[in-house]
Amino acid sequence: MNEKVHAYKDQISHLEEKLPEVVHAYHRFTGECFQAGSLDEKTKQLIALGIGLFANNEVCTFYHVDEARSKGASDQEIMETIAVAAAVGGGHALSQGVTRVQNALQ
């Protein structure tokens, strides 16, 4: 698991050599987004985990599990995040099926 996250970090450092301002801007942006605000840091990491799962992004999934744990998320909270992501993914397919597909069939 950590090998993939480390590989990503190695590759982002190579990108930073070529496009330092892009990488720095990305890190400033994401750093700001994950700061505690109305939502605490743990909740933000759980949201990111759910999105990573929905997007089928393996590196983000591993990274945000680790980050959520480091912010105090329990295994149960992480597993409930998986359930919510599954519900959203299933709901997405269903909602598209009853709207787009049914319209296409008419």
Q: Residue 102's pLDDT is what? A: 87
Tell me the whole-structure pTM to 2 decimals. 0.86
Burial (CB count <10 Å: 0-12, 13-18, 19+), residue 36: exposed
What is the distance between the alpha carbons of residues 101 and 106, in angstroms, rounded to a whole number?
A: 9
Residue owning tokens 């400033």: 28
Confidence class for position 2, pLDDT limits 50, 70, 90? confident
At 1 the pLDDT is: 65
